[in-house]
């Protein structure tokens, strides 16, 4: 089944593909934030660390 990092990674890929189709850089920053969350989830951290990874990656 899916683990949380799978979900974060799929969302990141979708956002990065959508960034190619739209002007600006907004969706790419959210996609990079999702990759940070996927990394945190992959290492077994909880939801709080995943949210921190998302925020840090987005900024």
- Domain membership of residue 40 as a residue range: 4-58
| Number of domains present in the structure of the chain | 1
**Residue 2's pLDDT is what?**
84
Confidence band (pLDDT; 50, 70, 90) for 48?
A: very high
**Residue 47's pLDDT is what?**
95
Confidence band (pLDDT; 50, 70, 90) for 29?
A: very high
Inter-residue contact 6 to 42 (CB < 8 Å): no
Is 1 a residue whose pLDDT tops 90?
no
Give the C-alpha distances (Å, rounded to integers) separating 36 from 21, 22, 23, 48. Answer: 22, 22, 23, 12
d(CA 53, CA 33): 7
Is 25 a residue whose pLDDT tops 90?
no
Q: What is the mean pLDDT of the chain?
A: 95
């Amino acid at each position: 089944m899916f683990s949380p990092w799978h979900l974060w990674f799929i969302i990141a890929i979708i956002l990065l593909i959508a960034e190619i189709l739209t002007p600006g850089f907004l969706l790419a920053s959210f996609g990079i934030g999702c990759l940070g969350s996927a990394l945190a989830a992959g290492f077994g951290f909880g939801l709080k660390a995943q949210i921190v990874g998302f925020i840090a990656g987005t900024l």
